[in-house]
Amino acid sequence: MYVEPGIHLMQGDEAIVEGSLIAGCRFFAGYPITPATEIAERMSRRMPQVGGVFMQMEDELASILAIIGASWAGKKAMTATSGPGYSLMQEGLGYAILTETPIVITDVQRGGPSTGLVTLPSQGDVMQARWGSHGDYGIIALAPSSAQDMFDLAIRAFNLSEEYRNPVVILADEVIAHVREPVKVPPLEEIEIVERRKPSVPPEEYIPYLPDPGEWVTPMPAFGEGYNMLVESVMHDEFGHRIGTDHVAAERTIKRVYYKIEKNVEKIAMYETELMEDAEIAVVSYGSTARTSLRAVREARKLGIKAGILRLITLWPFYDKIIEDIASQVRAIVVPEMNMGKIVREVERAAKGNAEVMSLPKVGGVLHHPDEVLSAIKKAAR
């Protein structure tokens, strides 16, 4: 049923499918789009083998609504797309946020704006992932850097979405989606899977959006289980009822869907560091750019420059503290990104002026050359 434990040569787009199935994903809806199509293709073959449902929808507006519907049918559900489709999905994303529906969305980033650079990588959607849908909300976004990450983070994404009853975005890019490299699949019993919490009280005592003290979210029943849910896209109170112009109840709901993510940043944030112990120059990087950056940091060490790397795995919620810590240690922070400089704004904010922050933007659909990152490190070291 699942891919055997062991080491497999897998494409990123394949690894994310196998990870998702192990995480319990039993519904996939999508629409073909380069460079995410392989995910839908493999899902169409694999999903019915594990007793799940694959649906090719008429567009991305439908795809995201379908996975929300499947989630309320009690299934773990996912869609995968790229920039143009992700733009369409911002509509449904807001619905999932306000109704606190666990879903996983994979955005295999390609170059934009518009139809843009169809087959080339980009990290241009990182701010869209945070702020793309209208209104205020918390969101979780993870940035894989390898096929292994595609496998591991798929599982992590489903777990987080169930734990926080919130959409989780996997911000891959064309390079990571198409890279073919060894992926280690651990034995099933070693993989942590978070299952959906179901209400333990009878329907008449269940308040759909009033978490118990100390909790951020409520258990979630499926449709047809007798809880008479109101899955309301209009601003609602703790009962799921429309609240019209009751600004006090609206404020409570909005603040909860914002803070349930932002206040749990320490639990959600994942990152890796290398050669940071004595570093004077830090490269803060994510996604496929982190691979180039690591090479550049190692080259810099050979030249006697004390450089290190912080790879952000969780982009949102943004983990200010790790940047603050690094900024108090190093002289300068270099932020290479395949965009005109987006996450660098967050780094600059979190660094609070304690280190010089240098943006290293790259657009047009090509990875940074390690030498470009190295020259930035050299410049920062002067």
Residues contributing to the site for another protein (CB under 8 A)? 26-27, 29, 45, 48-49, 51, 53, 55, 57-59, 61-63, 65-70, 72-75, 77, 91-92, 95, 99, 222-224, 227-234, 241-242
In terms of C-beta density within 10 A (0-12 exposed, 13-18 middle, 19 or more buried), how is residue 312 classed?
buried
Paired with 189 in beta bridges are none
Query: Quick one: 20 or 314, whose CB is closer to another protein?
Result: 20
Burial of 75-91, coded b for 16+ CB within 10 Å and e otherwise, reads bbbbbbbbbbbbbbbbe
Q: Report which DSSP code applies to 70.
A: H
Nearer to another protein, 29 or 360 (CB): 29
- We find the least distance from the C-beta atom of residue 247 to another protein, in angstroms, to be 19
For another protein, which is the closer residue by CB, 63 or 253? 63
Cα torsion angle, 250, 251, 253, 257, sign: positive
To another protein, the closest distance from the beta carbon of 71 in angstroms equals: 8
The residue (of 31 and 319) whose beta carbon lies closer to another protein is 31
CB of 63 to another protein, least distance (A): 8
Q: How far is the CB of 42 from another protein (least distance, A)?
A: 13
Report the sign of the C-alpha dihedral through residues 109, 111, 115, 119, in that order: negative
Least separation in angstroms between CB 200 and another protein: 19
Query: Cα–chain-centroid distance for residue 239?
Result: 29
Burial zone of 304 (CB within 10 Å; 0-12 exposed, 13-18 middle, 19+ buried) = exposed
Give least dist CB 350 to another protein, A: 35
Rounded Cα distance, 12 and 378, in Å: 33
For another protein, the closer CB: 228 or 328:
228
101 vs 166 by CB, closer to another protein: 101
Closer to another protein at the Cβ: 214 or 245?
Answer: 245
Picking from 157, 220, 232, 239, the residue whose alpha carbon sits closest to that of residue 193 is 157
Check: CB of residue 314 under 8 Å from CB of residue 270. Answer: yes
Of residues 59, 55, 60, 65, the one with CA closest to residue 27: 55
* Least distance from another protein to the Cβ atom of residue 224, Å: 5
57 vs 366 by CB, closer to another protein: 57
Distance CA 370, CA 5 (A): 34
Minimum CB–partner distance for residue 315 and another protein (Å): 26
User: Given the complex with another protein, which of 57 and 270 has the nearer CB atom?
Assistant: 57
CB-wise, 14 or 174, nearer to another protein? 14
Nearest to 290 by CA among 172, 157, 113: 172
d(CA 278, CA 292) in angstroms, rounded, equals 21
Min dist CB 300 to another protein, Å, is: 50
CA-to-CA dists, residue 245 to 79, 149, 240, 248, angstroms? 34, 44, 15, 9
Query: Shortest distance, CB of residue 127 to another protein, whole angstroms?
Result: 23
Type of residue numbered 23: A
Q: Give the HSE-up count for residue 123: Cα atoms under 13 Å, Cβ half-sphere.
A: 29
